[in-house]
Structure 1
Amino acid sequence: MSPAAPTGDQPGNEPEGAPAPVPPRPPAPASGVLQHLLPSDPSVIAGYRLLGRLGAGGMGVVYLGRTDNGELAAVKVTHADQADQPDFRARFRREVEAARRVVSPWAVPVTGADPDAPEPWMATAFVPGPSLGEAVAAHGPLPERSVRVLGAAVARALAAVHAAGLVHRDVKPGNVLLAVDGPRLIDFGIARTTGETALTATDMVVGTPGFLAPEQAEARTDAIGPPADVFALGCLLAYAATGRPPFGTGAVDALMYRTVHDEPDLGGVPAGLLDLLRACLAKDPAARPAAERVAAGLVEDAPGGAADWLPAPVVRTIAERSARMLALPEIDATTAGLAPAAAAPNRRRFLTLAAGGAVLVAGAGAAAWAAFGGDEKSKPPPPPRARKWTIGVQADLSGPAKDIGRAQERGVRLAVERLNARKDKPFTLDVKVVDDGGDRSRALAAARTLTGDRDVLGIVGPTSDYTAFTALPAYDEARLPVLTVSAGLNLLINPDAPQGVSIVRACPMHPFGAMALAYYVQAKTRSRRPGLLQERTDDTYSWQYVVGANFGFKQGGIVPTPRVIPGGAKQLERVLGEMVEAGMDAYLHAGLAPSAIRAAKTLDALGFRGMRITGQHVFGTEFLTGAGKAAEGWIVGAPVVDPTTRKEAAELIAAHRTAYGTVPAFYTGEAYDVTNLLVQYVEQAAKGGRRPDRTTLAPQIRKAKYAGAMGGYTFDDDGNLNGVGTFMYAVENGRYKPLEFAPSGPPKAGGS
């Protein structure tokens, strides 16, 4: 039995006194990764044949549907039990009516709906591009011209909303989709007629914190009108220009307060946009310009006939998704709808491919077609060139885990050099490295750089938990195998959802690493009152360690004494003193290196001599140098083996000395091993001179039984490492002395 690990935010943690949030509603029509239908999903809704899932939420699912004439649509379906709730059908009917009343080339149109069906549904035209939020997260802020074109189009869409007597009330990056011919405003789920209050409870905040007006933040229902949408548009454009919301991020109540009382942070906004954005973000609704005036103040030109209003990386993302829509399985070839669609303002040089609902730039179409796939008979043949395939590395080379990232990069390079040096090599390999700096805001863009290269056959990395979590959807979307030796976050793989289908994790999940520490305490001491401290700077990691350790101690019949301190290790010294005074006889630290350094010094000063043990995110030179003599005797568990203790690593050590003049650092050997494992399957897939299909590699690697320089590797069906995977070290004379693998369970009764 494995410990129950957290899977996300839990209810009941809302700030006291915070305004009531809007109840959840079905997800908006999306343009993201297409997921397979579940056995319980219908195959047809009305006249739409369902091809896959675009998104899902607590109240419904959005499917990708296709009509008989080949047109694609986003079909939003609500659950039957939701339809039985009071006022639900009235709300859903209102959403359909609101969306139908808005007539604008920059708003996604409704193509069908039935609010009275047992499971109410609505279909809108499908836009294959990413949302503004996805694009900024992946590729960074937009240039000024892009922001102007974006703002002018969305302002015109809002003008149409307001002309229809409506207020959108949820203008945010996720509700603006990017297409090559301009953006599209979506989701009228909480739009209402100006002055309407019957279906909105008093004191209910409607909208998305960070992208709502002060009158929305204060739930002043009577004051919410078209100016609220203009304020949200100002927030949206500031985000597009800078990559961050103008009132910051964080707790909902703090966001609400800053929206009402603080001035927006417009640092980094181009000077030519500042005056207009300040006007949009006025606290007084009467001081904000109308949407038409905003559009007039932004227009330099409309989106051109090419996708030149967007940066090239965003265009590539749109082209990639468009090509995938054209290649969807089981879409019958059609001739209907091949005539050009109704033209939006100033659209030029576009070819509308109605069979896939995709828009490709004529000028860049050949390049996009060749890069992302299309009809083999119609695309131009690529020029001949020498074949070289590539192993990708996504690593932190300049951030907090740069030592680990650099060690892993070296391991990959040495494994690739090993193949390239073979006389019987079937091909040569390159290494392509992308540095995400350990910054999750850069992680998705790093992944897109690698997935966009068709010659990249697999990835080693990412280095860190949260960069892996952010990047993984891109790798899942491309079905590109990802082998990580250091990302132990349990949320990377969800067996109950199509998440983590590409990852192969050659390290234990954090809860299992913590279980190993608890087992080690029991195996090596007679502790009956172990102390367990959770330090919440990295709340997810420390909580997973607490869950795993509690489970491990419980199996041995021991109930630890748990304490929790806030992020930044506030109150650490006082709490440790209380734990020692209460008779703690062993100490397990669930936190990061800075707090572990302070804990080591405090326990040393208190004269505590029981076992002091901690885990993966403390293992490293920071703890040794920071704690100094106080670190002596600490036990640290980590998912790595000292290569100098392995005779099987002799070849690796010799190669590393030749290339870098030293013995390999920790994590180099594990990266070397998983690269050799990946190369083995690439070589099998390339037999007979075939081009390896990278989308088939991850399932095969998960079935591997591989003996590497650092030991043996096998994985379960979900790609997790089998076995303990945690090695124990004692700090001795300022260095980590290898001990042994952690035990796989608590000692038997009567053991020491």
Structure 2
Amino acid sequence: MTDRSLRPSDPAFVGGHRVLARLGEGGMGVVYLGRTETGALAAVKVIQAEYAHDEEFRARFRRETRAARRVDCPWVVKVTGADPEAEQPWLATAFEPGPSLADAVHRHGPLPVGAVRVLGRQLARALDAVHAVRLVHRDVKPGNILLAVDGPRLIDFGIARFADDTAITSADLVVGTPGFLSPEQAAGGGQLGPASDMFSLGCVLAYAATGRPPFGGGAVDALLYRTVHDRPDLDGVEEELAAVLLRCLAKVAADRPTAAELDAALVEDVPPATADWLPEDVVRLIAERSAEMMALPEIEATLADAPQPTAPSRRRFLALTSGGAVLAAGGGIAAWAALRSGSRRAKGPAAPGWALGVQADLSGPGKAAGQAQEQGARLAVEQFNALGERAFTLELRTADDGGSADRAVTAAQRLVADPDVLAVLGSSADATTQAALPVYDAALLPVISMSAGQNLLQNVRSFVRGRPLHNAVAMKLAFQLKATSSATPVGLLLDRSGGDVSWMSIQMINLVLRKYGDTTHPRVIPAGTTDLAPVLDDMRAHGIRAFVYAGPAEGAIRAARGLARFDGPKYAAEPALDARFAAEPTAEGWTVTASAIGIEAPSVHTFAQAFRTRYGHAPGLWAAEGYDAANLLIRELTAANGKRPARAALATSLKTARYQGITRAFAFDAETAGTPMLATPASFVHEVRGGAFRYLGPAPDKAPRPKGK
């Protein structure tokens, strides 16, 4: 079950609603499950204090709340109350216990074409009602659509605006969820109209039909670029439906259908207001989510040490259903799910073991980094088990994904199915981590990654990233260049073989260097290019005096060979931190900035000695990061005072963890795109010397002051 427990700082009452549990937390506030004196349940969103002190925000919130209360549509959650004048303004809507569209697709895959058509028609009617009161929702996404047996519900007016309002903040701020933004939102534009919501709805329906966003995933900057410039990916969508979606996904707002036009364009014969529109497994999920809500603590259990029932009793089941808890699934379905789940739990589990999992590429192209992390984590576990006084013995279970996204799903499923595994380090690559996260998130199995640096755009609740994003590391590379060289112009080579990581790195480096007054000469080569001579000749002909490469290690080797006689400073982005590149004779003197620390770092000295004793050789790059991640997870396990923690509780505590490791200080800031960010990002500088990487130290946090400043 999702951890919905209240925190000491949470209120007991909000506007006449008795607060029962946390439903979620976003950028503008916390959403609670509340019950009125009449027994009706509501989702109560309490706005953060920083907005509450803004009088302009209060005035706008007051207007938008009045408008939202006028929205009259069965497919939009009903606004049941609000107080814009409260110390912390709040808004209450009818509570829907069903899963979100994002949850349903993650668990059970794309919806059938008929279900997508029904979904589209009803959401079109929802948006038509929203637009009729001159509101623009601005965050239509799978996570804001709840599924019930009689149809979907559009939720969250948290960032809704009047159609003729200007942007909520500065023009360069993107508001909404990347992957489901309109081109005008992605470009950071000012005024947004109903057509923006229609583009987002097109993205949602494409996601429902295929299981993937139509403009892909990965780094935010790259995703926004594709939204503005690229054709949507509708492969696998039925031809007639694809034609309708292409109209919604038109780049020009005026070319998109209105909500009413989309409603008319989507024809489906499924009977309305029945469960027939959804696949059986999704109906079952709706029932289970309704039953989960019934397992919340009693209203009277307000003390911190109050017992938490594991399954609803018959008395509680009857009391809750009569109080209005079953709103979407229907009493019969929810009763079946509650009693069925209760009978399973009555048997009681066997005495569990304690284990950490490691998912990594242990046999594929990235096996050096994967094996290093596994060895570092194993050393941490063995050191813990060697302690004289400890509450439990820990095991390490591994799952090799071979660097393959398909194998990553299987590896994650194996660790999820192991009842002893309480948390996972992994995966060791961006693509495999992104593929595995839906599996871990569905089980609320906590995961920390130390080497995946892309912005993995998913509604993940159990994932933390123990390293900075790739663009943050690229920024440090630009700072290192400015701190060590005044050479300009700088040649920037983007190798498309490196995917979004390369694009993101070069964009950031180009931005920083231009800000500091340098001239740059950027060039792009298509994926798979093996002959770099023409582009390198072009760069030299334009008089470049320094060079930066962003792409895979194989491409970095080709660039080093092609620039063997170039005597200017040469730099490469993180993927070049590979022993194969360091062993290339022409790579001598190249500088690489990465998130992995060097084994020569003073803080790593004791670990490196212990590693040599255990394995008979020096630790590889990323081994110290694996050691840190395992020790952070061990620290969270020991905080349970000998009691086996639930996976969901551990996932929650991990997001607020504070730990001083040998590679960095671990502390996590507020969530961005669903993932807590490392508050103290660490990047390090390495130089190729004598066929190996020599550690130079932490990368600078800023560049020298620009000339004339």
- TM-score, normalization: structure 2? 0.63
Q: Residues 306 and 265 of structure 1: is their aligned pair in 2 closer, same or farther, counting only changes over 3 Å?
A: closer
Displacement of 1:66: 1.8
Partner of 2:252: none
2: distance between equivalents of 1:460 and 1:211? 29
- Residue 563 of structure 2 corresponds to 603
Determine if the alignment matches structure 1 residue 67 to structure 2 residue 21. Answer: no
Tell me the distance in 2 between the aligned counterparts of 1:433 and 1:387: 20
Pick aligned residue for 1:673 from 627, 639, 657: 627
Partners of 2:633 and 2:259 in 1: CA distance: 63
Alignment of 1:210-609 (within 5 A): 236-245=204-213, 255=227, 266-269=234-237, 274-275=239-240, 278=243, 291=263, 294=266, 296-298=268-270, 302-303=274-275, 308-310=280-282, 318=289, 322=293, 326=297, 330=302, 338-339=321-322, 341=324, 347=330, 349-351=332-334, 361-362=337-338, 364-366=340-342, 380-383=346-349, 385=350, 387-396=352-361, 401=366, 403-409=368-374, 412=377, 427=393, 429-433=395-399, 435=401, 437=403, 455-464=420-429, 484-487=449-452, 511=473, 514=476, 518=480, 529=487, 538=501, 539-541=503-505, 561=518, 563=520, 565=522, 568=525, 573=536, 576-577=539-540, 593=553, 596-597=556-557, 599-604=559-564, 607-609=565-567
Quote how far apart the aligned CAs of 1:546 are.
8.1
2:85 pairs with 1:112: no
The structure-2 alpha-carbon separation of the partners of 1:246 and 1:566, relative to structure 1 and needing over 3 Å to count, comes to same
| Correspondence for 1:19 | none
What is the distance in 2 between the residues matched to 1:444 and 1:74?
36
CA distance in 2, matches of 1:464, 1:615: 15
Find 1:652's aligned residue among 587, 609, 614.
614
d(CA) in 2 for partners of 1:404 and 1:316? 43
**C-alpha distance in structure 1 between counterparts of 2:517 and 2:256, whole Å:** 55
Deviation at 1:392, TM superposition (A): 1.9
The one-letter code matched in structure 2 to 1:125 is A
Query: Do structure 1's residue 634 and structure 2's residue 596 form an aligned pair?
Result: no
Question: Deviation of residue 602 (structure 1)?
Answer: 4.1
1:268, CA displacement in angstroms? 1.7
Q: Give yes or no for contact 2:493–2:523 (8 Å, CA) kept in 1.
A: yes
Instruction: Map Cα deviations across residues 151-191 of structure 1 (whole Å, 9 max, x no partner).
Output: 43663465577699949976643431235776323356899
| CA separation of 1:111 and 1:508: change in aligned 2, threshold 3 A | closer
AA in 2 matched with 1:97: R
Measure how far apart 1:351 and its partner are. Answer: 3.4
Over residues 353-373 of structure 1, what are the superposed CA-to-partner deviations in whole Å (9 max), with x where a residue is unaligned? xxxxxxx82365237xx7xxx
**Could you tell me whether the CA contact under 8 Å between 2:286 and 2:329 is conserved in 1?**
no
* AA aligned opposite 1:609: D
* TM-superposed deviation, 1:431: 0.9
Q: Residue in 2 aligned with 1:26?
A: none
The CA deviation string for residues 541-598 of structure 1, in whole angstroms up to 9 with x for no partner, is 45777899999xxxxxxx895636266599963674278565x6xx665765466445
Residues 120, 205 of structure 2: 8 Å contact kept: no
- Call closer, same or farther: CA 1:188–1:285 in 2, change over 3 Å: same
Change in CA separation of 1:547 and 1:599 when aligned onto 2, cut-off 3 Å: same
Q: SS in structure 2 opposite 1:617?
A: helix
**In structure 1, C-alpha distance between the alignment counterparts of 2:59 and 2:700, rounded to whole Å:** 52
Identity %: 29
Alpha-carbon deviations, 1:454-478, whole Å to 9, x = none? 6323322342468769989998999
* CA distance in structure 1 between the partners assigned to 2:329 and 2:641 by the alignment: 51
Q: What root-mean-square deviation, in Å, do the aligned CA atoms of Structure 1 and Structure 2 show?
A: 6.6
Q: What does residue 691 of structure 1 align with?
A: 644
Is the aligned partner of 1:715 residue 2:671? no
Select 2:68's aligned residue among 89, 95, 99.
95
- 8 Å Cα contact 2:124/2:260 also seen in 1: no
> For the structure 1 residues 528 and 457, does the alpha-carbon distance in structure 2 shift closer, same or farther, using more than 3 Å as the test?
same
Deviates more, 1:498-507 or 1:670-679: 498-507
* SS of residue matched to 1:391: strand
Aligned to 2:672: none
Q: Residue 483 and residue 229 in structure 1: after superposition, are their counterparts in 2 closer, same or farther (change >3 A)?
A: closer
2-structure distance, mates of 1:629, 1:210: 42
- From the superposition, tell whether residues 163 and 91 of structure 1 become closer, same or farther in structure 2 (CA, over 3 Å): closer
Give the CA deviation at 1:502: 5.6
Whole-angstrom CA distance in 2 between matches of 1:293 and 1:393: 49
Residue 48 of structure 1: aligned partner: 17
Aligned to 1:730: 688
Cα 1:166–1:315, aligned 2, differ >3 Å: closer, same or farther?
same
Provide the C-alpha distance between the structure 2 equivalents of 1:723 and 1:594, rounded to a whole number of angstroms.
Answer: 27
For 1:514-553, what per-residue CA distance to the aligned partner results, in whole angstroms no more than 9, with x for missing partners?
Answer: 479949985xxxx6648766556535545777899999xx
8 Å contact kept, 1:393–1:409: yes
Displacement after TM superposition at 1:740 (Å): 4.8
Match of 1:573, as an amino acid? L
Query: What amino acid sits opposite 1:742 in the alignment?
Result: G
Q: Deviations over 1:67-109 (max 9, x none)?
A: 35463413365746465698775444222201xx22x3x5422
Counterpart amino acid of residue 236 in structure 2: G
SS at 1:349 equivalent = helix
Q: CA deviation at 1:216?
A: 13
Partner Cα distance (1:257, 1:578) in 2: 31
Q: Is the 8 A contact 2:360 2:426 kept in 1?
A: yes
Distance in 2 between residues matched to 1:84 and 1:209, nearest whole Å:
24
Q: CA deviation at 1:620?
A: 1.3
Match of 2:497 in 1: none
Maintained 8 Å contact 2:475/2:508:
no
Distance 2:123 2:698 in 1: 62
Gapped regions of structure 2 (runs ≥ 5): 248-254, 309-315, 495-499, 527-531, 670-677, 702-709
User: What is the alpha-carbon distance in structure 2 between the residues aligned to residue 699 and residue 743 of structure 1?
Assistant: 25
The verdict on how the C-alpha distance between 1:487 and 1:415 changes in structure 2, with shifts beyond 3 A counting, is same
Q: Distance in 1 between matches of 2:641 and 2:539?
A: 60
Q: How far is 1:240 from its partner?
A: 0.9
Show the counterpart of 1:155. 121
TM-superposed deviation, 1:339: 1.0
Report the CA distance shift for 1:407/1:363 in structure 2 as closer, same or farther (over 3 A).
farther
Aligned letter for 2:373?
Answer: Q
For 1:457 and 1:387, locate their aligned partners in 2 and report how far apart those are by CA, in whole Å.
10
Q: Secondary structure at the match of 1:361?
A: helix
139 and 612 in structure 1: CA distance in 2 versus 1, 3 angstrom threshold: same
Task: Give the C-alpha shift of residue 124 in structure 1.
Answer: 0.7
Note closer, same or farther for the CA distance 1:681–1:731 as it changes in structure 2 (3 Å cut): same
After TM superposition, the score normalised by the length of structure 1 is 0.60
Whole-angstrom CA distance in 1 between matches of 2:325 and 2:623: 59
Q: Quote the Cα distance in structure 2 between the aligned partners of 1:721 and 1:119.
A: 27
Residue 310 of structure 1 aligns to a residue whose secondary structure is helix
Deviation for aligned residue 1:618: 1.0
- The aligned amino acid for 2:67 is R
Q: Deviation string for 1:412-434 (max 9, x for gaps)? A: 56776898999999546251537
Deviation at 1:32, TM superposition (A): 10
2:667–2:679 CA contact under 8 A, matched in 1 = no
